Each structure stands twice: as structure tokens, then as C-alpha cells.
Structure 1
Amino acid sequence: MKNIITSFLILLSTITMVANETLTDKEILVKLYEATDGGHWKTKWDLNQPMTTWSGVKVVGDKVVSLNLQDNNLHGQLPVELGNLFQLQELNLHKNQLAGSIPTSLGNLKELKLLDLSFNSFSGAIPASLCNLTNLKKLELYMNRLTGVLPTNLGDLQNLETFAVFNNEIEGTIPASFYQMKSLKTVLLNSNKLSGTLSPDVANLTQLTNLSLFENNFQGQVPLAIEKLNNLKEMNISYNKFNGLVTQKLAMLDTLNMTMINEQGVAYLMNVVVDVDTRPIVSEE
């Protein structure tokens, strides 16, 4: 009997998967509309009309290539079927009231170049499946309730230019693969619970223009290798627990001049040196 039940469940799961795969793009969008309380959207869809007439939807042929529903009062959770919009290149759901976990099925959207789920109430960990999106250039998940750690295979996103996950509750260390993402220009990891050290391999991120690690629990020496990032224009790594010495160049580059938090929770300025061979000219007292 147990084997019969197991076989039945497997068959049911297979039938469900096949059914999902055969849904048209319009049927998938209808599921999204129903799952997110479409009747209360700011700009509603007339489901009796072609999807080419629906606000925020861009269609090529009969396939959806862009879905932009930012600030449109979406509620509820995203349906897993959304991951079957295989030609989708842009998914922008910024500033809504979406909750629940980010569907792992979004990792099926191999053509995606922009994924913006920021300013919602998503919870749980960032799905490792998002690292399958090798065409992705912008990943914006900030201002949510995300927890867990950063995916270890984050470095698979070799075309990523913007990685913004600030104001969440992500913990753990920065994965080693992160330092191989040589297309990165903007990294915003501030206001989380990240810890560990910042690797000197940060020097690999030669295109970086903005680095924000503000308000986390990073420790150890601030890598002098940051000075090799010639394109870096903005940096804020203050309000961590970094220690040791920093150069004047790094201190001046940091928005808050390397203001750190000691074990007693008291803010102080890190020791600054004119160069690595001279004595400190600013103490932490």
C-alpha cells in the first residue's frame, strides 16, 4: 500500500509539472493576477482583453518579454508558474506588498536581465536557483525580510553589474565565489547581519564603482587591496568591527571615515596612517 501511495504521489506531481509547462503566457499572468489580488491593483488588467493591452506587459509574438508592475499594490505571494515565462527578460515588482518566499522557479528564467523584487516583504533565504540566471545584470532584493546566507554559487552570475540586498537580515560570510564577479559595478550589502572578513580578492572587482557594507558585523583588517579599485567612487564600510590600520586614502573614500563599533558597542575612528610604513596619526580614542 505504501508503494502504491508513493507511486500515486509521484504521478500526481508529474502531471502537475506537465500541466504547468503547457500553460500559455497569458494563463500564467492570469494566475499572477489572481494570486496577488489583482482586483485591488492600482492599475488593473481586463482579463477579457489580449495581454498585449495589459499595463506593464511587453509581448513579442505570443511571449512575455517584460513585466513591470512596480508600485501597483500587489498583495499575496508569487505563484510558482511565474518561472515558466521562459522568454522574460525583465521582472520588476518593486514597491508592492508581496510576501512569502521568493519562488525557486524564478531560476528557470534564463533570459532574465533584470530582477527587481525590492521594497516588499519577502522572507526566507535567497534561492540558490537565482544563480542560474547567467544573463542577469541587475539583482535588486533590498528592503525585504530575507534571512539565511548568500548563495555559495553567487559567482555564477558573471554578467551581474548591480547586486543590491541592503536592509534585510542576511547573515553569514561573503562566499568566495563573490570575488570572481568581475562585472560588478554596484554592491549594496549594508544593513544586514553579515560577518567574517573582507577578502583581499576584492581587488578582482575592477569595475566596482560603489561598495556599501555599512552596518554589518564584518571583522578583521580592511584590505588595502581596495585601493587598487580605480573605478571606486563611493564606499561605506563603517559601523562594522573592522580593526587594525587604514590609509588616509581609504579613510577619505569611506563616507563615515572608517567609523567602527568596538566590543562595547561604542563608535570610534580607526587608526589612520599616511602610508603603510608610517605610524598612526589618528588613534581610536
Structure 2
Amino acid sequence: MKIAKTLFLLLSIALVPVASIANTITKEEKSALIDFYQQTNGKEWITPWDLEAPIATWKGVFLKDGHVVGLKLFNNNLKGTIPNSIGNLAHLKHLNLAFNNLTGVLPKELTSLKELRVLKLEMNRIKGALPKEVGNLTNLVELSMFNNFLSGEIPESIAQLKQLKILNLSSNNLRGSIPSGFGNLTKLVKLGLFENNLEGSLPADLGKLVKLQELVLANNDLAGEIPAEFAQLSNLKILQIQNNKFNAYTGLEAMNTKHFLVFDTDSKDLSPYKNLDVQTLPTRMADTKFVDDNK
């Protein structure tokens, strides 16, 4: 009889749907999702959530081991602000809310998501300064917030994001100088600060970014000399520094121009740079792909 009861119990456990187990998340995380839905006008999303349906069926919600690890709602007509309760999604690794109509400022609680690897908020209407605590997101590989209304200075703490490969803060209202600590971001492949109000000289330690393939600094108020250390950027394929106030281009002299796909500069007098055949290089604005790569 005991053996029969044991077999019955094992069979009962085996028959529990896997989906129901996967749908079980903490009340705190579920509450955070519902709060997010309500604060971003969920009923008018292109694909709204059915709050009575299993969470695993909610568009853009990715679960693993009973936790929300991804929230990907690219181009879904989100309106409103990101609520402070976003910080309760402690296991979130991927947040993609790009190409929506989000407004307001970034909540400080966002910087408590220590496991976050991808943060994509481009093409929204987010304003205010980047939180100074953004450096807490030490697992970030990509931070993309181009085409918003960000203001203030670039936080010094960004220099702590040593896993970062993509940083795009272009087309905002950022001011001040480029922090010298950017030289610590040695894994960077793409750096975009195009079309802001940045000023001052370029930090020499940008030359440490030897993996950099794209550097877009055009349309700012940057000035001074292009540091000689730029010659170390041997993997650079796209360089755009036009529409600034640079008065010397020393750092470009030793660069191998054969590998460039895009090369744009304000320099009209190229005679000091006889080894720099800029005239033969193609010039265009670096493309920004407005697609959902589901990254």
C-alpha cells in the first residue's frame, strides 16, 4: 500500500504542467510588472497584456527559474513614466523599452538592478540627468539612450562599467566634458556622443580604447587638439568628429586610414597631414539601425 501511494504521489508531481511552474514568480515581481503596465498606459499598448492570463503569455516578459529576467517591449506604444518599482525586478538582465513614448526621468531604483546586462531606452522622451549611481550597473554590456532629452553631465561613475561594449548617448542635451575615466572602458566597441552640448578637450586616455570600432563625437562644442594617443585606436573604422571646435589634429597623423569606412573632420587644410589621404575616404553619417534586434 505504501509503495502504491508513493507511485501515485510521484505520478501526480510529474503531471504538473511545466508552464505552471514557470509562471510562478514572487508577488513582489508580479506587482512590479502590473505597476509598470499601469504606469505606461498598458491598455493602449499595441500588444497589451491580459492580466488574467499566465505571465508567460505576456508579450515581452521572459522568465527563468521563477524570476523575470527580460522585459522587451520595443515599439509597443508605451506612454508614461518608468515607475520606481522597476527596482523590484532584481533578477532582470535585459530591459529593452526603445522606440516608445516614455517620458519623465529615470528612477534611481533602476540602478539597483545589479544583474542588468542590456539597457535600451533609445527613441523616447526621457528627460533629466542620468543617475549618478549608474556606475552600480557593473554587468552592463550595452547602454543605449540616444534621441531622448537627457540633460546634465555624463556621470563620472560610468567609468565603473568595465564590461560595457556599446555606449550610445547621442542626440540628447548633455553638457560638460567627457569624463577622463572613459579610458577604463577597455571593452568598448562603439561609443556615440553625437549631437549634445559637450565641451572641453578630449581625454588622452581615450587612446586606451583599443577595441573601439566606432567613435562618433560630431555636433558638439569639443575643442583643443586631437590627442596623439588616438593613433593607438588601430581597430577604428568609423570616426566622426566634425562640427566641433578642434584646432589641431595631431592624433590623426599616424592612423592607418585604409581601414576606415567613415572619416569626417572639420579640417580643411590637410597639408600638415601628407600621410593622411582624407580626400579619398568616404564620408557619411554613421547609420543607426532603427530595428528591433531583440538584443
TM-score (structure 2 length as normaliser)? 0.80
Does structure 2 conserve the Cα–Cα contact (< 8 Å) formed by 1:244 and 1:270?
no
- How far the C-alpha of 1:202 sits from its partner, in A, is 1.2
> 2:184 aligned to 180, 184, 204, which one?
180
Match of 1:230 in 2: 234
Distance of 2:219 and 2:262 partners within structure 1: 12
SS of equivalent to 1:101: coil
> 1:40 aligned to 37, 41, 44, which one?
44
Change (3 A) 1:237 1:271: farther
> 2:128 aligned to 110, 117, 124, which one?
124
Match of 1:202 in 2: 206
Counterpart of 1:81, as a letter, is S
Listed one character per residue, the Cα deviations across residues 208-262 of structure 1 (whole Å, up to 9, x for unaligned) are: 11000000000001112212111111110111000124445659559454216xx
Change (3 A) 1:95 1:275: same
Distance of 2:243 and 2:261 partners within structure 1: 11
Answer 1 or 2: which has greater strand percent.
1
- How far the C-alpha of 1:201 sits from its partner, in A, is 1.1
> 1:106 aligned to 95, 107, 110, which one?
110
Match of 2:162 in 1: 158
Give the aligned CA root-mean-square deviation in angstroms: 2.0
Listed one character per residue, the Cα deviations across residues 94-129 of structure 1 (whole Å, up to 9, x for unaligned) are: 000000001110111100000001100000001112
Match of 2:266 in 1: 259
Distance of 2:68 and 2:208 partners within structure 1: 36
Distance of 2:126 and 2:150 partners within structure 1: 6
Does structure 2 conserve the Cα–Cα contact (< 8 Å) formed by 1:107 and 1:133?
yes
Distance of 2:65 and 2:74 partners within structure 1: 24
Structure 2 residue 168 is matched with structure 1 residue 144: no
Counterpart of 1:187, as a letter, is L
Structure 2 residue 274 is matched with structure 1 residue 274: yes
Deviates more, 1:39-48 or 1:241-250: 241-250
Change (3 A) 1:37 1:245: closer
Distance of 2:256 and 2:194 partners within structure 1: 18
Distance of 1:40 and 1:181 partners within structure 2: 40
Match of 1:134 in 2: 138
Counterpart of 1:224, as a letter, is A
Does structure 1 conserve the Cα–Cα contact (< 8 Å) formed by 2:132 and 2:155?
yes
Match of 1:282 in 2: none
Change (3 A) 1:172 1:119: same
Counterpart of 2:240, as a letter, is N
- How far the C-alpha of 1:25 sits from its partner, in A, is 1.2
Change (3 A) 1:56 1:66: same
Match of 1:63 in 2: 67
Does structure 1 conserve the Cα–Cα contact (< 8 Å) formed by 2:237 and 2:261?
no
SS of equivalent to 2:230: helix
Matches within 5 A, 1:24-103: 24-103=28-107
Match of 1:169 in 2: 173
Change (3 A) 1:234 1:31: same
Match of 2:248 in 1: 244
Distance of 1:124 and 1:51 partners within structure 2: 32
Identity %: 35
SS of equivalent to 2:104: strand
Distance of 2:256 and 2:234 partners within structure 1: 15
- How far the C-alpha of 1:24 sits from its partner, in A, is 2.0
TM-score (structure 1 length as normaliser)? 0.82
Deviates more, 1:228-237 or 1:66-75: 228-237
Mark the runs of 5 or more structure 1 residues left unpaired by the alignment: 1-21, 261-267, 277-285
